Amino acid sequence: MADKTLVCRDCGTQFVFTQSEQDFYTEKGFTNEPSRCPSCRAARKASRGDSYGSGAGRGGQRQMYPAVCSRCGKETEVPFQPTNGKPVYCSDCFQLERGGGASHGGYRSRRY
């Protein structure tokens, strides 16, 4: 067994089906060799929807919304639509808010 060179059926690029990928395929029980180059595969994966109908379960990446942290003013992204009047925190501040400032270590981080 050795690396194989295959030709992508989408873009015609030659790509290497490496030994380790072959092992991976065998392990997963896939009998077909990949018919597309890695970039075409990634592109198909990204634009999922028409060929793979069932949207249930694994949704891939979450939609992120741009927001400005209500605490430090930093630009951030949150996994939900920010609503007016509701505070939005960046990940740092979210942890601070969550951890509560009342614990014993509180003083240190406030000193600048």
Give contact residues for Zn ion (rule: CB under 5 A): 8, 10-11, 13, 37, 40, 69, 71-72, 74, 90, 93
Least CB distance to Zn ion at residue 85 (A): 18
**Which of 54, 109 has the CB closer to Zn ion?**
109
Neighbours of 41 (CB within 10 A): 15
**Which of 10, 33 has the CB closer to Zn ion?**
10
Got the DSSP string for 30-84? --SPP-S-HHHHHHHHHTTTSSS---SS---SPP-EEEE-TTT--EEEESSPPPT
Least CB distance to Zn ion at residue 111 (A): 18
Q: What tokens appear for 62 in the block?
A: 């979450």
Q: What tokens appear for 33 in the block?
A: 């060799």
Least CB distance to Zn ion at residue 59 (A): 25
**Which of 62, 74 has the CB closer to Zn ion?**
74
